[in-house]
C-alpha cells in the first residue's frame, strides 16, 4: 500500500537536475548562488544514493524472506576508493547525469574527483575485498561484508625533499555513502575474569565477568551490483563508550575531564587503520580492534540466525563466514564461546558447527607477516578466549597424537601455542584448525603453503582441506570505469557490454587482431590514456613527459620483496649507459618514462630509503641535458585507488618483479594487462597463470624460479657468489655521490653486498636488464607490440573476480545466487 508513495527514480537529464538541485538546496542547505563543485558533488551523490537505497532495501527484504544461505566476508580492510562513478555505472544513468551536469555548467570528471577515496586498506588484500563485494552483488549472491569504520584510513603520503612524510587521512567530513544505524549496537567486553561452577547436573559452566564494555555501532554502506537490482550491504563497526560507561556519576561530581577521556579511549579502537602491510607487530590496540570487530559481527550474525528459529545444527546451512587472512581468527573461539557458554551446546556439537561455518584465505607466506599474539596479552584482554583456544589445541593435539603416536616434535610444530618466552598463539594454525577449507590466492602460492607453513597439516587433514582460488579483479571498475574508451571500443566489436558480466567473452577480440581500423583505435586509446597521465604529472609535479615514450610503471606498496630497488638500480644502469654513449648511439635508445608510486609503512626504514633513492635519481636524471626525453623518472605522490584508475590504463609496461615465491598473487598485474599494457615479471604469484592464459610471447618473464631460491640464499650466506658486475657499476655510481650523499643508501646497498641479499637482487639483475632491452626492441616494432597488447586483453577473461567468486561460492561456501524477479 505504501508503494504509491515511493519516489520514482529519475530517467532524464532534467529530472536528474531537479533531484540534484533539490538536494543541494535542502539536504545540503547550499544556495545555488554559491554552488561550487563540492556542493554539486554532494547533490549528485545524493540523487544517485536515493536510487541505490530503493534497491538496497528491497534486496535486504528479499534476502531475509528467501532465507537462503548467506556468506559473510570478514575483512579488516576494504579499499573501496570512490563510490559515485561506480554507483552511476552500476545502476546506470551516468550519461543522463553527465548531460544534466553540463547543463548546470559542470564537467562530470571534475565532480567525480571531488570525492575523497574511502581508503580503509593497505594494498592488495583490501582491494581484493572491495572487488569481491562488487562481484558478489553483481552475481546476486546474498552476501555481507563486515569491517571496521576507521576514522582515519591509510595515511596520505607527501614527498618532502625526496622523503616520505605521512599525513592523517581524515575522510569522514562528508560521506553520503554510509548510514549510521543508531538502533544497531552491540556491547563488547574486554579484560575481566572467568567464573567456573557446576550446574545442577554437575556439568562445568564458564562465564566471563567484569572488565570493561565498549559499544559497537553499525554503519551500513550500500554495495550496488552491475546492471542488477541487487544491492548488498557492507557493515562497518564504529566504537564508542557504552551508555552506562559515560559515567554520569563522574560527570556530575566534576570529573568531567576523565569522563570525556573514557569516551575517547573507547573511540580509539576504531580510530585508525594499521598502516603495516605484511608486518606483524603485536600491539594491544590491534588485538582490541580484531576482537571488537569479530565479536560485534558474530553477535549480529547470530542474532539474525536466531530470528529464523532454526536449530543450531542448521547454522552452517544458513551461514558461511570467510576469514580474509588471519585478522578475524578470533571469530572462531568467539563462536565457540557463544555456542557453549551462552547457548549451552556441548563442546563437540559446537565445534562441528564452527568448523563447518568458517573458511580461511591465506594471503602471504612471509614469516614476518604471520600473526602471533602473546599468551599473557591474550590472558589479560580475553581470558575466556584463551581458555577456549587451549581446549581447541588440546583436543587437536590429542587427535594428532592418535594419528602419529610418539612424534613429539610434530606436536610441537603444529601446536597452536608456540613454546617460546613469552608463549605465543599462532593465529594461522587456529584459523586452519577452525575452518573446513583453507585457500591460497594463486596456484603457485596455494602449492607453496602446502609444502611450507602448512606442510604438517596436509599430513593431518589430507590434501582436500586445501584449495586454490586464484584472485581476480572487477572489470566494472578496472576496465569500464577506468578506461571508458577501451570498454566502448570492445563493446562496438562484441555487440554490447555483455563482456562486463562474462569477461571470457573478451576472447572474441582475437578475431579483430588483424583489423587495421581496430588496431589503430586500440593504439589511439592507449595514447590518449598516456596523454592524460602525462597531464596529471605535469599538473601535480610540473614535469613534462613525452607520451610517445615507453611508459614503464611500478605502483604498489614499497617492500623489499616487491623489489622496487631492482627497478631503480635498473634505471641507474640505463642512465649510465646513456651517459657513456655517443650522440650517434643515443639515437638508438627507446625513450622511457619510469614511473613509481606506493607507500612505505611509517616504520619501515629500508622501504623509505628506496623511496628516497628513487627521488634522488629522478632529480639527477630529469635535470640532465644529456638525457632529455630518453629517460624520465617520476615518483607519483600518494598512490591510491583513484590514482590507479588513471595510471593502469596508461602503461606500456608494468613491473611485477618480486623474488620468486614471495608475492602470493598480485592483482595490479591483472589490471594492467586488462587495459592493454604488457608486463615484465618474475615467475611468481598470478604472473604464472597470466602467462598460461595470454601466452609466453606476450609477457616478459625473467629471473630465478621459486624452487631455486633456497639454494641461492644459501650460496650468498656462504660467500659462494659474485656481485653482478653491472650492478657493481650501479653501486659505484651511488657510492661516488652521483645521487647525493651516499650515506643515505648505505644500509640498502649493504643488505645486498654484506648481508646475504635475501631478495636476490644481484642474482636476477643481469636477466632483468636483458629483458628490459628486449622490451625496448619490441616496443619499437609498433605492429608487433600492438598485436601483443590486443591478444593480452583478449585472453584476460579468466581474471575477473566474478570467476573467482563463483569458485568460492561453489567449492567453499556452498551458496546460490538469489533468483532475480522481473520488474513489473
Ligand atoms: C598483515 C598485517 C600484519 C599486521 C599489521 C597489519 C597487516 C596488514 C596486512 C597484512 C596482510 C598481508 C597479506 C597481504 O596483503 N597479502 C596480499 O594479498 C593480495 C590479495 O590476495 C595478494 O594479491 C598479494 O600478493 C599479497 O601480498
DSSP designation for 650 = G
462 class by beta-carbon count within 10 Å (0-12 exposed, 13-18 middle, 19+ buried): exposed
Catalytic site includes residue 667: yes
Cβ partners under 8 Å of residue 203, min gap 6: none
Q: Do the domains spanning 67-82+117-470 and 549-781 agree at the CATH topology level?
A: yes
Which residue ranges of the chain lie beneath pLDDT 70? 1-2, 244-253, 822-824
Please tell me which residue in 363, 426, 476, 480 is annotated as part of the active site: 363
Which residue has its alpha carbon closest to ligand 1 atom 11?
278
707 class by beta-carbon count within 10 Å (0-12 exposed, 13-18 middle, 19+ buried): exposed
Q: Which fold has domain 67-82+117-470?
A: Rossmann fold (3.40.50)
Please tell me which residue in 671, 682, 786, 792 is annotated as part of the active site: 671
Q: Which atom of ligand 1 is nearest to the CA of 667?
A: 23
In this structure, how many other beta carbons lie within 10 angstroms of the beta carbon of residue 461?
15
Q: Is the dihedral of CA 46, 50, 55, 56 positive or negative?
A: positive
List the one residue out of 51, 49, 40, 50 whose CA is nearest residue 17.
40
Q: What is the distance, to the nearest Å, from the Cα of residue 141 to the centroid of all Cα atoms in its chain? A: 21
Written as one string, the DSSP assignment of 418-470 is E-SSS-EEEHHHHHHHT-SEEEESSHHHHHHHHHTTTHHHHHHH-GGGEEE--
3 state SS for 371-415: CEEEHHHHHHHCHHHHHHHHHHHHHHHHHHHHHCCCCHHHHHHHC
Evaluate whether 681 touches 583 at the Cβ level (below 8 Å): no
Give the model confidence (pLDDT) of 795-812 as tens digits: 999 999 999 999 999 999
Q: Which atom of ligand 1 is nearest to the CA of 127?
A: 20
Annotated domain spans of the chain: 67-82+117-470, 549-781
Task: Give whole-number Cα distances, 679 to 156, 551, 592, 652, in Å.
Answer: 28, 11, 15, 8
ipTM: 0.96
Q: Please report the pLDDT score of residue 824 as a whole number.
A: 47
- What are the start-end ranges of the H helices in 245-330? 248-252, 256-268, 284-307, 315-318
Catalytic site includes residue 437: no
Q: Which fold has domain 549-781?
A: Rossmann fold (3.40.50)
Kindly give the pairing relationship between strand 212-224 and strand 631-636. unpaired
User: What's the farthest any 2 CA atoms get from each other in the chain?
Assistant: 96
Please tell me which residue in 51, 94, 526, 556 is annotated as part of the active site: 556
663 lines ligand 1 (CB under 6 A): yes
Q: Which residue is listed with cell 561484508?
A: 145
In this structure, how many other beta carbons lie within 10 angstroms of the beta carbon of residue 767?
15
In this structure, how many other beta carbons lie within 10 angstroms of the beta carbon of residue 524?
12
Q: Please report the pLDDT score of residue 245 as a whole number.
A: 53
Cβ partners under 8 Å of residue 524, min gap 6: none
Q: What is the distance, to the nearest Å, from the Cα of residue 479 to the centroid of all Cα atoms in its chain? A: 17
Count of H helices and E strands in the chain? Answer: 33, 24
Question: Taking the chain, what is the end-to-end CA distance rounded to the nearest angstrom?
Answer: 16
Global pTM reads 0.97
Which residue has its alpha carbon closest to ligand 1 atom 6?
276
Please tell me which residue in 557, 632, 643, 656 is annotated as part of the active site: 557
In sequence order, the β-bridge partners of residue 263 are none
Using only C-alpha atoms, the chain has a radius of gyration, in whole angstroms, of 28
Instruction: Find the 417 Cα to ligand 1 centroid distance in Å.
Output: 23
802 lines ligand 1 (CB under 6 A): no
Instruction: Find the 124 Cα to ligand 1 centroid distance in Å.
Output: 7
Amino acid at each position: 500500500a505504501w508503494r504509491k508513495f515511493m519516489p520514482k527514480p529519475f530517467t532524464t537529464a532534467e529530472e536528474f537536475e531537479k533531484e540534484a538541485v533539490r538536494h543541494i538546496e535542502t539536504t545540503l542547505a547550499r544556495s545555488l548562488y554559491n554552488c561550487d563543485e563540492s556542493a554539486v558533488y554532494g547533490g549528485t551523490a545524493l540523487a544517485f544514493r536515493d536510487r541505490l537505497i530503493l534497491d538496497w532495501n528491497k534486496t535486504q527484504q528479499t534476502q531475509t524472506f528467501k532465507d537462503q544461505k548467506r556468506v559473510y566476508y570478514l575483512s579488516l580492510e576494504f579499499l573501496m576508493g570512490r563510490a559515485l562513478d561506480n554507483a552511476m555505472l552500476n545502476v546506470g544513468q551516468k550519461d543522463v547525469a553527465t548531460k544534466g551536469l553540463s547543463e548546470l555548467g559542470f564537467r562530470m570528471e571534475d565532480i567525480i574527483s571531488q570525492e575523497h577515496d574511502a581508503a580503509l586498506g593497505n594494498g592488495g588484500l583490501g582491494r581484493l575485498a572491495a572487488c569481491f563485494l562488487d562481484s558478489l552483488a553483481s552475481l546476486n549472491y546474498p552476501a555481507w561484508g563486515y569491517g571496521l569504520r576507521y576514522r582515519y584510513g591509510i595515511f596520505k603520503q607527501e614527498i618532502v625533499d625526496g622523503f616520505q612524510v605521512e599525513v592523517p587521512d581524515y575522510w569522514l567530513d562528508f560521506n553520503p555513502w554510509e548510514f549510521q544505524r543508531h538502533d544497531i549496537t552491540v556491547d563488547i567486553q574486554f579484560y575481566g575474569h572467568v567464573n567456573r561452577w557446576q550446574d545442577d547436573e554437575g556439568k562445568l559452566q564458564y562465564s566471563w565477568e567484569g572488565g570493561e564494555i565498549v559499544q559497537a555501532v553499525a554503519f551500513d554502506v550500500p554495495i550496488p551490483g552491475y546492471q542488477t537490482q541487487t544491492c548488498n550491504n557492507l557493515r562497518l563497526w564504529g566504537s564508542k563508550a557504552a551508555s552506562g560507561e559515560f559515567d554520569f556519576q563522574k560527570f556530575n561530581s566534576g570529573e568531567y575531564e576523565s569522563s570525556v577521556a573514557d569516551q575517547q579511549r573507547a573511540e580509539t579502537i576504531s580510530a585508525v587503520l594499521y598502516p603495516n602491510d605484511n608486518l606483524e607487530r603485536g600491539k594491544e590496540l590491534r588485538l582490541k580492534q580484531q576482537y571488537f570487530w569479530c565479536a560485534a559481527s558474530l553477535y549480529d550474525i547470530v542474532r539474525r540466525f536466531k530470528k529464523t528459529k532454526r536449530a543450531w545444527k542448521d547454522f552452517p546451512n544458513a551461514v558461511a563466514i570467510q576469514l580474509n587472512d588471519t585478522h578475524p581468527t578470533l571469530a572462531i573461539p568467539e563462536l565457540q564461546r557463544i555456542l557453549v557458554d551462552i547457548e549451552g551446546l556441548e563442546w563437540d556439537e559446537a565445534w562441528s558447527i564452527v568448523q563447518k561455518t568458517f573458511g580461511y584465505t591465506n594471503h602471504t607466506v612471509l614469516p614476518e607477516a604471520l600473526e602471533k599474539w602473546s599468551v599473557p596479552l591474550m590472558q589479560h584482554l580475553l581470558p575466556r578466549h584463551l581458555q577456549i583456544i587451549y581446549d581447541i589445541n588440546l583436543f587437536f593435539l590429542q587427535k594428532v597424537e592418535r594419528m602419529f603416536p610418539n612424534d613429539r616434535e610434530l606436536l610441537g610444530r603444529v601446536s597452536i601455542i608456540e613454546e617460546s618466552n613469552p608463549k605465543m598463539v599462532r593465529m594461522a594454525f587456529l584459523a586452519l584448525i577452525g575452518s573446513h577449507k583453507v585457500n591460497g590466492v594463486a596456484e603457485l602460492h596455494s602449492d607453496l603453503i602446502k609444502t611450507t607453513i602448512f606442510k604438517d597439516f596436509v599430513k593431518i587433514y589430507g590434501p582436500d582441506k586445501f584449495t586454490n582460488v586464484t584472485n581476480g579483479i572487477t572489470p566494472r571498475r578496472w576496465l569500464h570505469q577506468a578506461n571508458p574508451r577501451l570498454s566502448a571500443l570492445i563493446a562496438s566489436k562484441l555487440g554490447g557490454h555483455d563482456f562486463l558480466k562474462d569477461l571470457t567473452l573478451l576472447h572474441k577480440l582475437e578475431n579483430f587482431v588483424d583489423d587495421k581500423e581496430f588496431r589503430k583505435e586500440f593504439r589511439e586509446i592507449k595514447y590518449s590514456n598516456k596523454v592524460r597521465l602525462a597531464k596529471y604529472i605535469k599538473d601535480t609535479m610540473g614535469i613534462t613527459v613525452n607520451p610517445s615514450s615507453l611508459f614503464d610503471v611500478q605502483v604498489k606498496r614499497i617492500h623489499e620483496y616487491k623489489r622496487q630497488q631492482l627497478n631503480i638500480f635498473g634505471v641507474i644502469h640505463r642512465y649510465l649507459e646513456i651517459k657513456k654513449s655517443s650522440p650517434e648511439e643515443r639515437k638508438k635508445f627507446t625513450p622511457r618514462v619510469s614511473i613509481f608510486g606506493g607507500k612505505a609503512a611509517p616504520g619501515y626504514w629500508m622501504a623509505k630509503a628506496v623511496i628516497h633513492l628513487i627521488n634522488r635519481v629522478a632529480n639527477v636524471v630529469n635535470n640532465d641535458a644529456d638525457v632529455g626525453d630518453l629517460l624520465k623518472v617520476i615518483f607519483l605522490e600518494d598512490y591510491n585507488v583513484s590514482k590507479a584508475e588513471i595510471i593502469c590504463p596508461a602503461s606500456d609496461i608494468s613491473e611485477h618483479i618480486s623474488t620468486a615465491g614471495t608475492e602470493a598473487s598480485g592483482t595490479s598485474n591483472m589490471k594492467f594487462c586488462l587495459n592493454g599494457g604488457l608486463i615484465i615479471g618474475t615467475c611468481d604469484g598470478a604472473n604464472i597463470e597470466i602467462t598460461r592464459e595470454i601466452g609466453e610471447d606476450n609477457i616478459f618473464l625473467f629471473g630465478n624460479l621459486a624452487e631455486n631460491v633456497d639454494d641461492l640464499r644459501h650460496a650468498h650466506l656462504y660467500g659462494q657468489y659474485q656481485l653482478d658486475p653491472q650492478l657493481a657499476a650501479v653501486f659505484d655510481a651511488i657510492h661516488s655521490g652521483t645521487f647525493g650523499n651516499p650515506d643515505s643508501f648505505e644500509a640498502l646497498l649493504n643488505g645486498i653486498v654484506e648481508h646475504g641479499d635475501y631478495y636476490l637482487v644481484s642474482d636476477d639483475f643481469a636477466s632483468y636488464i636483458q629483458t628490459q632491452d628486449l622490451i625496448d626492441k619490441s616496443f619499437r616494432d609498433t605492429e608487433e607490440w600492438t598485436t601483443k597488447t590486443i591478444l593480452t586483453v583478449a585472453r584476460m577473461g579468466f581474471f575477473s573476480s566474478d570467476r573467482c567468486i563463483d569458485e568460492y561460492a561453489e567449492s567453499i561456501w556452498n551458496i546460490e545466487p538469489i533468483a532475480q524477479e522481473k520488474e513489473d
